[in-house]
Amino acid sequence: MTTAYFDLAAASRGQPVLRKTSSDETLIQSIAAGDRLAMRTLFARHRVSVYRWLLRLVNDEALAEDLLSDVFLDVWRHAASFEARASVSTWLLAIARYKALSARRRRTDAALDDQIASTVADPADGPDLVLEKKSTTELMGGCLTELSPEQREVMDLVYYHEKSVREVARIIGIPEPTVKTRMFYARKKLAELVAGRTTLNS
């Protein structure tokens, strides 16, 4: 294991992490200079959101943990290449997505597209249109499973990770109009699904 990995493990165990008030960009600059405390701070700040994103993509807790370490080890090694054209959190999610997709391609037992975003309980609120109809995680999860994988991915980034259309486009690597189109059809489909399930349960 590398020294960087031990730093991340220490942050996971709740050991003191300094520079809580430093911006992500400042931390990246310090990491590029070999600052391990800055690495631990960044990891502690973003590990939960990155882990949840990975878990939604691979649907495997052990694999998600491994990929989480890989993501932050990449940050440790390549912090100097960060160009600040997007936020640090957007950069992290893009790295995580690439690693998750690569891992999924390597798996022989995966048919995961029908399971993304439906197997992890998330304390965050779902889309407003769902909350207006029925505020339950079960309903939200059930409806999300019936969206296309592309639509689920966009909805996850926008509502759970609070990313803008521009940031989603950077993470996924598609044009902004395509993001908007997927959001439009995803919202339309969700509204139809929620309306139908609410009627059945009433």
Cβ–Cβ < 8 Å for 78, 117: no
| Count of domains for the chain | 2
Cβ–Cβ < 8 Å for 154, 172: yes
Same domain for 33 and 130, yes or no, is no
Same domain for 97 and 149, yes or no, is no
Same domain for 105 and 119, yes or no, is no
Same domain for 181 and 105, yes or no, is no
Looking at per-residue pLDDT, the higher value among 168 and 19 belongs to 168
Same domain for 5 and 69, yes or no, is yes
Same domain for 17 and 91, yes or no, is yes
Same domain for 105 and 198, yes or no, is no
Integer Cα distance of 184 and 131 in angstroms: 17
Question: Domain of 61: which CATH number?
Answer: 1.10.1740.10
Name the domain boundary from 67, 88, 110: 110
Residue 160, pLDDT > 70, answer: yes
Same domain for 16 and 56, yes or no, is yes
Residue 201, pLDDT > 90, answer: no
Name the domain boundary from 110, 145, 168: 110
Provide the residue range defining the domain that includes 160. Answer: 115-202
- Residue-wise pLDDT for 186-196, tens only, equals 888 888 887 77
Same domain for 101 and 198, yes or no, is no
- Residue-wise pLDDT for 141-153, tens only, equals 667 778 888 888 8
- Residue-wise pLDDT for 22-56, tens only, equals 899 999 999 999 999 999 999 999 999 999 999 98
Name the domain boundary from 81, 110, 139: 110
Same domain for 187 and 120, yes or no, is yes
Same domain for 103 and 121, yes or no, is no
Residue by residue, what is the 3-state secondary structure of 103-154? Answer: HHHHCCCCCHHHCCCCCCCCCCCCCHHHHHHCCCHHHHHHHHCCCCHHHHHH
Quick one: pLDDT at residue 119?
Answer: 42
Q: Which residues contact 123 (CB under 8 A, 6 or more apart)?
A: none
Quick one: pLDDT at residue 132?
Answer: 45
Same domain for 95 and 125, yes or no, is no
